[in-house]
Structure 1
């Protein structure tokens, strides 16, 4: 049963998960109840913003970190990969454990782990301690995300639900866009260690808020006995698949492009890349997980993920849409910083300010999304948001060129951000709307794993597309360039291809490669346009998938809703 929350009256007769604000809570004055719900929402939004920002902000500071700590290339590669792999591997088990022990406690524990890991990373004196901090951050993130979504799903029902998801999603979307700008400023003005240090006071506030204001939710029938084979197979499978997807471009999809090392060990098969091996291993582990989970369910034993959840139309179709949207939303964030800095010669701060339009749009959508969802339904808001995202990406693709004003990209980026603010959170709303609240932890874990896999697939697909199209346009442009020697052409081509265009500004430093800079900028502009059109097509696929969301799902209300 739901436990009483400190600071609010004990509720009676509430069903498991705390979804019903029973008579005792309704007796609280309306003003205080509204303040309590806002405090809950701010607590959850800040908790998830912490882990979203730390998934990307380290990229901005990594060159400085490498020089300061003397990291090897292997150390640098694993600073982000370690975080993402642990995050992906533990999302599903964490959601299940949260159903058992209670999501409020699990959220507080996750934030505590995340803050301790941030301290370790911020005080790191070398690669091993920094990597240990990042791995522990991944563990904390895996505990936080499904618990935060589960509490949001159970604490906000009825009329408040749409507004809560709208504000939560807009805040997260804005934070993800602002994070790299803020991280770059902290690194330049103070120290890279501050990008971890800021997590300490924010995390302390989240823990205090969680214990003070959030309702507890758990499944009283759930146990931790979900089967060791299922848990290990799911964790290993998701970790292996995410590794293959995000590292395929780096190590080669089949033939090795560089030596894979972890610690002091190297990959033992020099003729074959580790990527296809990891992909096959991941697929086999997930197949084992699916078979063992179904056998356990049929025999009446506890399972890590109840596959019957996929019989719920909103959950099934919504997860498909989330995977496609996660794949597509990576596109602009991936290619635009490269384009703005290498082609338009902006520094990191000004490039971040251009992309900040996305965050402003996402925040602007917050006050609109809630009322629009109550009036038209979450499905309609999701469709409208994805349509805006598709149109915004297409408009950016039309505008891209080697010599445009970067500020012309601000309006379509703002429109894209509005679409993110409308669609992302309400898509989560639709997916979880008809899930029984006592199973919201495993449902949230499954949904977030789906989104993470979609984003990892986006890294693979769009990274490969950028590399391929850049190579084609670069060869054509360099062939037409004048004043370029054979050696200069070879050096320029290798440098631009190897860095995906990031080394274009450095071409001017050498007389041999300087004549290639204009050609390389044009090639990257064309490749960026191609990838942006591919992203728009993928987003349109997400829009089409969202049309299959059940029309009545957003309007169904649980028997005890308060609205």
Structure 2
């Protein structure tokens, strides 16, 4: 297997323009992953969607996106990363235009499918191109820029979503992609050099494609929907199998398909036939341990992004756009880190910067654990978000650089797609794990909260159950309601709100504490990475 990448460090023209194009391309995909969530309530109202319909707008995109990353990364290696990037952007734009014209759930889901295919094509392609185009000190800078853009844009997405839905219409969360995408296509045609990786000498691996796609779809769906369908016993009127929730079956069958995929890929590698995934990459400690750390980090990070908006909007009663503006402080921290990361890497090493970044992220989590309180206001939250964002900017980019540093440029597509898939599955696991833990904490903390308030027993139980079932949104409704309409005095309403605020916040804090432990584990694991200054590749 040979590396057909011809663009080496001293021959790449316009490489910094190329980096800007790649960073802007990944921004388009990353923002779309967060901007839609904030706009869902408005979309639900306009299209008259049920809550289940709205969930599928998010879930379907995640399923398609996660399941195709490995395949698209490998196809880009074979047919050219520049070509596949442009194709991915075109598909993504078609999906965006379709979404903006949606009048019902069917057309919206078709649009989200197109966006998922486009996003799965763009993300590993951008990363493998960065890995193939930049070497030595330029590589340090390139990954610092690439990582800080991803971290920053993920934080800015909710702010943009809140702005468009508040001051314009929800359609603009999709229309905004069109001018950006067209600029990317034109700029890529002019400035982005073509790079290739390992060729498919024996044709496309259809069996691997089928096994990996089915396996990942079932696994990701099971992880995402476990809380809704029930991890073991079925919830509501969801489908059952042998009188149990279908989730355990989906997870087991998905794991079997993915295990078969790995066995099949190992067989193809041994017989020197074209494959989607070269398992020998996991022999590199930087690749295997780096991906393990990345997956654990994704679990913790997604948990925080799940919990903090609930506290900001339901307890501090911030509007979606104000909540988005607070969360955007992470982006500020990430962009600050991007400017410092390359300098620190040159003086120390990429692995040191990863350790520093994850230490700051863990510190941010611990800060939330100690200071999140209804009476503390926003100051400390903003401080810890900036600290967390700086750590995110340090860790994200340089961890990606470490994961790929020993991967031959010819296999950059495979390495990049695996890294992206690990992060996606980690994020899904994070929401599932943290969401489940948070639900259990609410079930422990909220019942009997309103004892001695003087409410009828049935009313008390109804209020407490609504807080658990709505993940706190009923507290916000209660605060904004006229006490006379609820047949309550103002003092009793205030007493109810104070008690619910206190116990709901306790559940948030305890769950953040568990997420802090997860982040601390990832920090400890970084000491297994090579603690030496990275040598220039190539």
| Counterpart Cα distance in 1 of 2:6 and 2:500 | 58
| Counterpart Cα distance in 2 of 1:315 and 1:511 | 62
Partner of 1:498: 469
Superposed CA deviations along residues 95-140 of structure 1, whole A, max 9, x for unmatched, are 1111110111101100110011000000111111111111110000
The partner residue of 1:326 within 279, 298, 312 is: 298
> Is 1:183 the counterpart of 2:175 in the alignment?
no
1:244-323 equivalent positions in 2, closer than 5 A: 244-260=222-238, 267=239, 269=241, 271-323=243-295
> Is 1:462 the counterpart of 2:450 in the alignment?
no
Check 1:220–1:253 CA distance in 2 against 1; reply closer, same or farther (3 A cut).
Answer: closer
Greater mean alpha carbon deviation, residues 65-74 or residues 377-386: 65-74
Paired residues of 2:360 and 2:390 also in contact (CA < 8 A): yes
CA RMSD after TM alignment: 1.8
Greater mean alpha carbon deviation, residues 416-425 or residues 468-477: 468-477
> Is 1:21 the counterpart of 2:1 in the alignment?
no
The partner residue of 2:510 within 505, 525, 530 is: 530
Q: How big is the shift at 1:356?
A: 1.9
1:7-406 equivalent positions in 2, closer than 5 A: 16-22=4-10, 36-219=14-197, 221-223=199-201, 225-260=203-238, 267=239, 269=241, 271-406=243-378
Partner of 1:517: 497
Superposed CA deviations along residues 53-72 of structure 1, whole A, max 9, x for unmatched, are 11121111111111111113
Paired residues of 2:164 and 2:172 also in contact (CA < 8 A): yes
| Counterpart Cα distance in 2 of 1:473 and 1:50 | 40
Paired residues of 1:217 and 1:438 also in contact (CA < 8 A): no
Gaps of 5+ in 1: 3-14, 26-32, 261-266
| Counterpart Cα distance in 2 of 1:268 and 1:542 | 37
| Counterpart Cα distance in 1 of 2:56 and 2:198 | 39
> Is 1:484 the counterpart of 2:463 in the alignment?
no
| Counterpart Cα distance in 1 of 2:150 and 2:205 | 34
Detail structure 1 runs of 4+ shifted over 6 Å in the superposition: none
Q: How big is the shift at 1:471?
A: 1.5
Paired residues of 1:256 and 1:270 also in contact (CA < 8 A): no
What TM-score do the two structures reach when normalised by structure 2? 0.95
| Counterpart Cα distance in 2 of 1:224 and 1:163 | 37
Q: How big is the shift at 1:19?
A: 4.8
Aligned residues: 529
Paired residues of 1:318 and 1:427 also in contact (CA < 8 A): yes
> Is 1:555 the counterpart of 2:534 in the alignment?
yes
Check 1:449–1:438 CA distance in 2 against 1; reply closer, same or farther (3 A cut).
Answer: same
| Counterpart Cα distance in 2 of 1:259 and 1:134 | 26
| Counterpart Cα distance in 1 of 2:201 and 2:178 | 32
What TM-score do the two structures reach when normalised by structure 1? 0.91
Paired residues of 1:343 and 1:522 also in contact (CA < 8 A): no
Check 1:397–1:268 CA distance in 2 against 1; reply closer, same or farther (3 A cut).
Answer: closer
